[in-house]
Amino acid sequence: MEFRFLKYLMLALISLGFASCEKDIDIDVPAGQEQLVIEGSIENGGPPIVLVSRTRGFFDPTSAAAIAASYISDADVRVNDIPLTPICSSAIPPEFQQQFSELVGIAIDDLGDIDICAYIGLQPELLGMENTTYQLRVETDGRTLTASSHLPRVIAPDSTWFRLWADSPQYGYVFCNITDPDTLENAYRIFTRRIGPNVNDNPVDPVYYAPLGSTFLDEFFNGQTFELGFTRGQEPNSSLATDTGDEAGYFEIGDRFVFKFCSTTRPVYQFFRTMEAQQGTNGSPFASPSNVISNINGGLGVWAAYACHYDTLLATP
């Protein structure tokens, strides 16, 4: 009994000791330097599309108004020295909102909350062409940002199909066979989009989404024919049942969808690969730190050129 009493007494004294060592510590986190961010792309047969914004502080408010205020609508944006035209979602007539949404890759519901201004190349000579390099130049806030991206030739999959996953009776992925050219550093990025009608009444996707692991390089299969499988791309932070339940990332039997397969270049691959690596850590303090590799000189973000091929598939076993 005496030993047990002494044990409890020692524990109480140790706990009191720890409590007496507590001290409030205030950490002054310095604000990071504001930088400009570019989200730009050009695709074969399509116009260049560029979004320009400013970085926001980690503790800044995240309201729709605050996010909208970070976008810049008065920059001078040029591709191959041809000025792009700023077009804001709030100025688009309702009957053209869907086309604008698909063009800039932002769901129409989000455009209703945030007025986004995109710089678009309306001139015919700016429509993306294979084997062409596109120079981007952005001037705003007294700063100049530049970037270069090469639009390679289209490399279409030899075949594309849906396959059930493991023992699942209804869910699966999209697969394709690719013959990689016998040249080093061919890079690729894929997107998916569910379209209607779906016989299973699944929702359709408002725009194309890139799944995790969407970007890859031919460093391990240069010049070979190989098979690849991909999950379904979905909207980040989606609350839809098909994006949060057991079927998240899968196509379901009866889905009609488009598989968008794009050739690109190593700098574009590096940006999205490192960005996905950061997203995958989800802020974990135990993950290896990594920086997103941008191809923007003087700022952050990416200027990406894509040569894309489209296949429409029906998910059947």
CA dist., res. 137 & res. 80, Å (int): 8
pLDDT score, position 151: 98
Interacting residues of 178 by C-beta distance below 8 A, sequence separation 6+:
155, 157, 158, 188, 225, 226, 227, 228, 261
Query: 240: number of CA atoms within 13 Å, CB side?
Result: 13
Q: Specify the CATH class of 36-151 in words.
A: mainly beta
CA dist., res. 136 & res. 75, Å (int): 13
Nearest 5°: phi and psi at 11? -60, -40
194 within 8 A of 231, measured Cβ to Cβ: no
202 within 8 A of 254, measured Cβ to Cβ: yes
Domain positions in the chain: 36-151, 159-294+306-314
Q: Among all chains, which residue has been given the structure tokens 């992925």?
A: 173
**Low-confidence residues in the chain, pLDDT < 70:** 1-32, 58-64, 281-289
Interacting residues of 245 by C-beta distance below 8 A, sequence separation 6+:
none
pTM: 0.85
Bridge partners, residue 179, by sequence:
225
pLDDT score, position 59: 63
Helix (H, G, I), strand (E, B) or coil at 291: coil
160 vs 93, 273, 311, CA distance in Å? 37, 23, 7
At 152-211, the pLDDT tens digits run 999 999 999 999 998 899 999 999 999 999 998 999 999 999 998 888 889 999 999 999
- CATH fold for domain 159-294+306-314: Immunoglobulin-like (2.60.40)
CA dist., res. 262 & res. 189, Å (int): 5
pLDDT score, position 104: 84
